[in-house]
Amino acid sequence: MSTDAVLYDHPGPRAKARNLILTIVFGIGLVALLYWIYSRFDAKGQWAGSLWEPFTQASTWQDYILPGLLATLQAAAVAMVLSLAFGIIFAVGRLSDHWWVRLPAGAVVEFFRAVPLLLLMFFIFFGVPFITEQPMSIFWAVVLGLTLYNGSVLAEAFRAGVHSVPRGQSEASYAIGMRKSQVMTHVLIPQAARAMLPVIVSQLVVLVKDTALGYIISYGELIQLGVNNLSANFGNVVQAAIVAAIIYIIINSLLTAFAGWLSRRTRRKGRAPRAAGAATQQATIEPGLGGGGGTL
Protein backbone atom coordinates (compact mmCIF):
# COMPACT_ATOMS: atom_id res chain seq x y z
CA MET A 1 0.00 0.00 0.00
CA SER A 2 1.42 3.36 -0.99
CA THR A 3 1.95 6.12 1.57
CA ASP A 4 -0.16 8.51 -0.51
CA ALA A 5 -3.16 6.19 -0.29
CA VAL A 6 -2.85 6.06 3.50
CA LEU A 7 -2.25 9.75 4.17
CA TYR A 8 -4.36 11.29 1.43
CA ASP A 9 -7.63 10.31 -0.19
CA HIS A 10 -8.01 11.57 -3.72
CA PRO A 11 -11.13 13.75 -3.96
CA GLY A 12 -14.15 12.44 -5.75
CA PRO A 13 -16.48 14.41 -8.05
CA ARG A 14 -18.38 16.09 -5.20
CA ALA A 15 -15.20 16.97 -3.32
CA LYS A 16 -13.67 18.40 -6.49
CA ALA A 17 -16.75 20.56 -7.06
CA ARG A 18 -16.66 21.74 -3.44
CA ASN A 19 -12.94 22.54 -3.70
CA LEU A 20 -13.56 24.49 -6.90
CA ILE A 21 -16.29 26.55 -5.25
CA LEU A 22 -14.10 27.27 -2.22
CA THR A 23 -11.21 28.26 -4.51
CA ILE A 24 -13.41 30.70 -6.41
CA VAL A 25 -14.83 32.18 -3.17
CA PHE A 26 -11.41 32.67 -1.61
CA GLY A 27 -10.07 34.05 -4.91
CA ILE A 28 -12.84 36.64 -5.03
CA GLY A 29 -12.20 37.49 -1.38
CA LEU A 30 -8.48 37.95 -2.03
CA VAL A 31 -9.13 40.19 -5.03
CA ALA A 32 -11.57 42.24 -2.96
CA LEU A 33 -9.03 42.60 -0.16
CA LEU A 34 -6.30 43.70 -2.57
CA TYR A 35 -8.66 46.22 -4.18
CA TRP A 36 -9.61 47.59 -0.74
CA ILE A 37 -5.93 48.02 0.14
CA TYR A 38 -5.27 49.69 -3.22
CA SER A 39 -8.21 52.06 -2.79
CA ARG A 40 -7.14 53.05 0.73
CA PHE A 41 -3.62 53.86 -0.48
CA ASP A 42 -5.07 55.69 -3.47
CA ALA A 43 -7.28 57.79 -1.21
CA LYS A 44 -4.15 58.90 0.65
CA GLY A 45 -2.35 59.73 -2.60
CA GLN A 46 0.27 57.00 -2.15
CA TRP A 47 0.17 56.05 -5.85
CA ALA A 48 1.06 59.56 -7.01
CA GLY A 49 3.79 59.57 -9.62
CA SER A 50 5.90 62.07 -7.71
CA LEU A 51 6.42 59.54 -4.90
CA TRP A 52 7.66 56.89 -7.34
CA GLU A 53 9.72 59.25 -9.47
CA PRO A 54 12.91 58.95 -7.33
CA PHE A 55 13.17 55.27 -8.33
CA THR A 56 13.54 56.30 -11.97
CA GLN A 57 16.69 58.28 -11.13
CA ALA A 58 20.09 56.59 -11.23
CA SER A 59 21.29 58.54 -8.19
CA THR A 60 18.62 56.90 -6.00
CA TRP A 61 19.95 53.46 -6.83
CA GLN A 62 23.62 54.45 -6.67
CA ASP A 63 23.37 56.35 -3.37
CA TYR A 64 20.80 54.33 -1.43
CA ILE A 65 19.48 51.04 -2.79
CA LEU A 66 22.54 49.37 -4.35
CA PRO A 67 24.93 50.19 -1.43
CA GLY A 68 22.34 48.88 1.01
CA LEU A 69 21.79 45.76 -1.08
CA LEU A 70 25.54 45.14 -1.28
CA ALA A 71 25.90 45.46 2.50
CA THR A 72 22.97 43.07 2.99
CA LEU A 73 24.47 40.47 0.66
CA GLN A 74 27.92 40.77 2.22
CA ALA A 75 26.63 40.24 5.76
CA ALA A 76 24.33 37.41 4.64
CA ALA A 77 27.03 35.60 2.65
CA VAL A 78 29.58 35.64 5.49
CA ALA A 79 26.94 34.70 8.07
CA MET A 80 25.72 31.80 5.89
CA VAL A 81 29.18 30.24 5.71
CA LEU A 82 29.84 30.72 9.43
CA SER A 83 26.36 29.50 10.40
CA LEU A 84 26.74 26.29 8.40
CA ALA A 85 30.15 25.66 9.98
CA PHE A 86 28.79 26.47 13.45
CA GLY A 87 25.80 24.19 12.89
CA ILE A 88 27.89 21.22 11.74
CA ILE A 89 30.43 21.56 14.56
CA PHE A 90 27.86 21.85 17.34
CA ALA A 91 25.63 19.16 15.84
CA VAL A 92 28.60 16.79 15.99
CA GLY A 93 29.26 18.00 19.54
CA ARG A 94 25.70 17.26 20.61
CA LEU A 95 25.98 13.77 19.10
CA SER A 96 29.25 13.03 20.90
CA ASP A 97 29.53 9.96 23.14
CA HIS A 98 31.47 12.04 25.70
CA TRP A 99 29.26 13.93 28.14
CA TRP A 100 31.90 16.63 28.66
CA VAL A 101 31.53 17.48 24.94
CA ARG A 102 27.82 16.81 24.55
CA LEU A 103 26.56 18.87 27.51
CA PRO A 104 28.50 22.11 26.81
CA ALA A 105 27.57 21.90 23.11
CA GLY A 106 23.91 21.45 24.03
CA ALA A 107 24.04 24.37 26.48
CA VAL A 108 25.54 26.68 23.83
CA VAL A 109 22.96 25.70 21.21
CA GLU A 110 19.99 26.03 23.55
CA PHE A 111 21.21 29.37 24.92
CA PHE A 112 21.68 31.05 21.55
CA ARG A 113 18.40 29.61 20.25
CA ALA A 114 16.58 31.14 23.21
CA VAL A 115 18.12 34.63 23.13
CA PRO A 116 16.44 37.00 20.62
CA LEU A 117 18.66 37.91 17.70
CA LEU A 118 18.21 41.62 18.33
CA LEU A 119 19.58 41.25 21.86
CA LEU A 120 22.56 39.31 20.51
CA MET A 121 23.40 42.15 18.14
CA PHE A 122 23.00 44.71 20.92
CA PHE A 123 25.20 42.77 23.32
CA ILE A 124 27.93 42.11 20.75
CA PHE A 125 28.01 45.72 19.55
CA PHE A 126 27.69 47.46 22.92
CA GLY A 127 28.88 44.81 25.38
CA VAL A 128 31.97 43.32 23.74
CA PRO A 129 33.87 46.67 23.79
CA PHE A 130 33.67 46.60 27.61
CA ILE A 131 35.52 43.26 27.53
CA THR A 132 38.03 43.92 24.73
CA GLU A 133 38.36 47.68 25.35
CA GLN A 134 38.24 48.06 21.58
CA PRO A 135 35.37 49.37 19.41
CA MET A 136 33.28 46.66 17.80
CA SER A 137 32.79 46.64 14.05
CA ILE A 138 29.15 47.09 13.09
CA PHE A 139 29.56 44.57 10.28
CA TRP A 140 30.92 41.86 12.59
CA ALA A 141 28.32 42.61 15.25
CA VAL A 142 25.62 41.84 12.69
CA VAL A 143 27.44 38.80 11.27
CA LEU A 144 28.24 37.26 14.66
CA GLY A 145 24.68 37.77 15.88
CA LEU A 146 23.32 36.08 12.75
CA THR A 147 25.87 33.28 13.06
CA LEU A 148 25.17 32.46 16.70
CA TYR A 149 21.40 32.41 16.31
CA ASN A 150 21.01 30.76 12.90
CA GLY A 151 23.96 28.43 13.51
CA SER A 152 22.23 27.11 16.64
CA VAL A 153 19.03 26.46 14.69
CA LEU A 154 21.02 24.72 11.94
CA ALA A 155 22.81 22.60 14.57
CA GLU A 156 19.44 21.20 15.64
CA ALA A 157 18.50 20.65 11.99
CA PHE A 158 21.70 18.71 11.32
CA ARG A 159 21.22 16.68 14.51
CA ALA A 160 17.68 15.79 13.48
CA GLY A 161 18.96 14.90 10.01
CA VAL A 162 21.59 12.56 11.44
CA HIS A 163 18.96 10.85 13.59
CA SER A 164 16.78 10.42 10.49
CA VAL A 165 19.46 8.35 8.73
CA PRO A 166 18.70 4.62 9.15
CA ARG A 167 20.70 3.06 11.98
CA GLY A 168 21.98 0.38 9.62
CA GLN A 169 24.10 2.97 7.83
CA SER A 170 26.24 3.65 10.88
CA GLU A 171 26.26 0.02 12.00
CA ALA A 172 27.55 -1.07 8.60
CA SER A 173 30.21 1.63 8.71
CA TYR A 174 31.40 0.53 12.15
CA ALA A 175 31.37 -3.08 10.97
CA ILE A 176 33.94 -2.37 8.25
CA GLY A 177 36.24 -0.64 10.76
CA MET A 178 35.43 3.05 10.33
CA ARG A 179 35.96 5.38 13.28
CA LYS A 180 33.12 7.59 14.52
CA SER A 181 34.70 10.70 13.00
CA GLN A 182 34.81 8.95 9.63
CA VAL A 183 31.23 7.73 10.01
CA MET A 184 30.05 11.27 10.77
CA THR A 185 31.98 13.03 8.00
CA HIS A 186 31.65 10.43 5.22
CA VAL A 187 28.32 8.71 5.93
CA LEU A 188 25.92 10.49 8.28
CA ILE A 189 26.43 14.23 7.76
CA PRO A 190 26.30 14.12 3.90
CA GLN A 191 23.03 12.17 4.05
CA ALA A 192 21.67 14.39 6.81
CA ALA A 193 22.49 17.55 4.84
CA ARG A 194 20.68 16.15 1.81
CA ALA A 195 17.65 15.11 3.87
CA MET A 196 17.46 18.43 5.72
CA LEU A 197 18.13 20.63 2.67
CA PRO A 198 14.63 22.20 2.70
CA VAL A 199 15.03 23.13 6.38
CA ILE A 200 18.54 24.47 5.78
CA VAL A 201 17.37 26.60 2.86
CA SER A 202 14.42 27.92 4.87
CA GLN A 203 16.76 28.97 7.66
CA LEU A 204 19.16 30.64 5.22
CA VAL A 205 16.21 32.59 3.79
CA VAL A 206 15.40 33.68 7.35
CA LEU A 207 19.04 34.69 7.77
CA VAL A 208 18.89 36.96 4.70
CA LYS A 209 15.78 38.66 6.05
CA ASP A 210 17.27 38.96 9.55
CA THR A 211 20.06 41.17 8.21
CA ALA A 212 17.39 43.90 8.29
CA LEU A 213 17.74 43.95 12.08
CA GLY A 214 21.17 45.46 11.60
CA TYR A 215 19.61 48.86 11.06
CA ILE A 216 19.00 48.98 14.84
CA ILE A 217 22.75 49.40 15.38
CA SER A 218 23.07 51.65 12.28
CA TYR A 219 24.43 49.00 9.91
CA GLY A 220 23.98 50.41 6.41
CA GLU A 221 21.97 47.56 4.88
CA LEU A 222 18.97 47.70 2.58
CA ILE A 223 16.41 48.78 5.18
CA GLN A 224 18.67 51.46 6.64
CA LEU A 225 19.76 53.00 3.34
CA GLY A 226 17.02 51.93 0.94
CA VAL A 227 14.05 52.69 3.20
CA ASN A 228 14.95 54.90 6.18
CA ASN A 229 17.52 57.20 4.56
CA LEU A 230 15.77 57.29 1.18
CA SER A 231 12.34 58.08 2.61
CA ALA A 232 13.85 60.74 4.89
CA ASN A 233 14.98 62.60 1.76
CA PHE A 234 11.99 61.99 -0.51
CA GLY A 235 9.09 61.37 1.93
CA ASN A 236 8.04 58.08 0.30
CA VAL A 237 8.43 55.47 3.03
CA VAL A 238 5.65 53.22 1.69
CA GLN A 239 7.09 53.20 -1.81
CA ALA A 240 10.63 52.56 -0.52
CA ALA A 241 9.36 49.68 1.63
CA ILE A 242 7.56 48.13 -1.35
CA VAL A 243 10.71 48.31 -3.50
CA ALA A 244 12.81 46.80 -0.68
CA ALA A 245 10.28 44.00 -0.21
CA ILE A 246 10.40 43.18 -3.93
CA ILE A 247 14.21 43.01 -3.77
CA TYR A 248 14.08 40.66 -0.78
CA ILE A 249 11.56 38.44 -2.59
CA ILE A 250 13.84 38.23 -5.64
CA ILE A 251 16.91 37.36 -3.53
CA ASN A 252 15.12 34.65 -1.56
CA SER A 253 13.50 33.24 -4.70
CA LEU A 254 16.93 32.92 -6.32
CA LEU A 255 18.27 31.23 -3.18
CA THR A 256 15.36 28.76 -3.20
CA ALA A 257 15.84 28.07 -6.92
CA PHE A 258 19.56 27.41 -6.33
CA ALA A 259 18.71 25.01 -3.52
CA GLY A 260 16.30 23.16 -5.81
CA TRP A 261 18.97 22.85 -8.49
CA LEU A 262 21.49 21.64 -5.90
CA SER A 263 19.01 19.07 -4.57
CA ARG A 264 18.37 17.68 -8.07
CA ARG A 265 22.08 17.56 -8.78
CA THR A 266 22.88 15.67 -5.56
CA ARG A 267 20.07 13.18 -6.26
CA ARG A 268 21.52 12.49 -9.71
CA LYS A 269 25.01 12.04 -8.28
CA GLY A 270 23.60 9.77 -5.59
CA ARG A 271 21.92 7.50 -8.15
CA ALA A 272 25.01 7.08 -10.33
CA PRO A 273 27.10 5.04 -7.84
CA ARG A 274 24.13 2.76 -7.12
CA ALA A 275 23.64 2.16 -10.83
CA ALA A 276 27.33 1.43 -11.26
CA GLY A 277 27.28 -0.91 -8.26
CA ALA A 278 24.29 -2.78 -9.67
CA ALA A 279 26.05 -3.21 -13.01
CA THR A 280 29.18 -4.52 -11.27
CA GLN A 281 27.13 -6.96 -9.21
CA GLN A 282 25.34 -8.20 -12.34
CA ALA A 283 28.68 -8.71 -14.12
CA THR A 284 29.99 -10.64 -11.09
CA ILE A 285 26.95 -12.93 -10.98
CA GLU A 286 27.01 -13.59 -14.71
CA PRO A 287 30.68 -13.53 -15.77
CA GLY A 288 29.92 -15.25 -19.04
CA LEU A 289 28.11 -12.16 -20.30
CA GLY A 290 31.30 -10.12 -20.21
CA GLY A 291 32.63 -11.58 -23.46
CA GLY A 292 35.12 -14.43 -23.17
CA GLY A 293 34.80 -14.79 -19.39
CA GLY A 294 33.10 -18.18 -19.55
CA THR A 295 36.18 -20.42 -19.90
CA LEU A 296 36.90 -22.88 -17.11
Q: 293 pLDDT exceeds 60?
A: no
Show contacts of 117-121: CB within 8 Å, 24+ apart: 117/145, 117/146, 117/149, 117/210, 117/213, 118/213, 118/216, 120/144, 120/145, 120/148, 120/149, 121/145, 121/213, 121/214, 121/216, 121/217
* Residue closest to 154 by CA, chosen among 211, 107, 100, 92: 92
The closest alpha carbon to 144, from 210, 91, 220, belongs to 210
Lowest mean pLDDT among 4-8, 50-54, 166-170, 188-192: 4-8
- Domain at 63-270: CATH code: 1.10.3720.10
Confidence at residue 260, expressed as pLDDT on a 0 to 100 scale: 81
How many CA atoms lie less than 13 Å away from 42 in the CB half-sphere?
Answer: 6
What global pTM score does this model have?
Answer: 0.79
Q: How far apart are CA 145 and CA 214, in angstroms?
A: 9
Q: Is 291 helix (H, G, I), strand (E, B) or coil?
A: coil
> How do residues 193-224 score in pLDDT, each as one tens digit?
788 888 888 899 999 999 999 988 989 999 99
Q: What are the boundaries of each domain within the chain?
A: 63-270
User: Residues with Cβ < 8 Å from 158, sequence gap 6 or more?
Assistant: 87, 88, 91, 189, 192, 193, 196
Residue 295: pLDDT above 70?
A: no
pLDDT higher than threshold 50 for residue 278: no
Across 141-154, average pLDDT = 96
Q: What mean pLDDT, rounded, does the chain reach?
A: 86
List the single range of 121-130, 162-171, 257-266 with lowest mean pLDDT.
257-266
pLDDT band at residue 282, thresholds of 50, 70 and 90?
very low
How much is the pLDDT for 145? 96
Q: Which of 6-10, 15-19, 31-35 has the highest mean pLDDT?
A: 31-35
Is residue 164's pLDDT more than 50? Answer: yes
pLDDT at 3 over 50: no
pLDDT digits (tens, 9 = 90+) for 227-253: 999 999 999 999 999 999 999 999 999
**How far from 126 is each of 132, 220, 256, CA to CA, in Å?**
11, 17, 34
Q: What is the average pLDDT across 78-87? A: 95
pLDDT value of residue 269: 65
Look at residue 7 in the predicted model and tell me its pLDDT. Answer: 53
Mean pLDDT value of segment 102-121: 94
What are the backbone dihedrals phi and psi of residue 181, each rounded to the nearest 5 degrees, phi first?
Answer: -60, -40
Q: Are the C-beta atoms of 194 and 270 separated by less than 8 Å?
A: yes
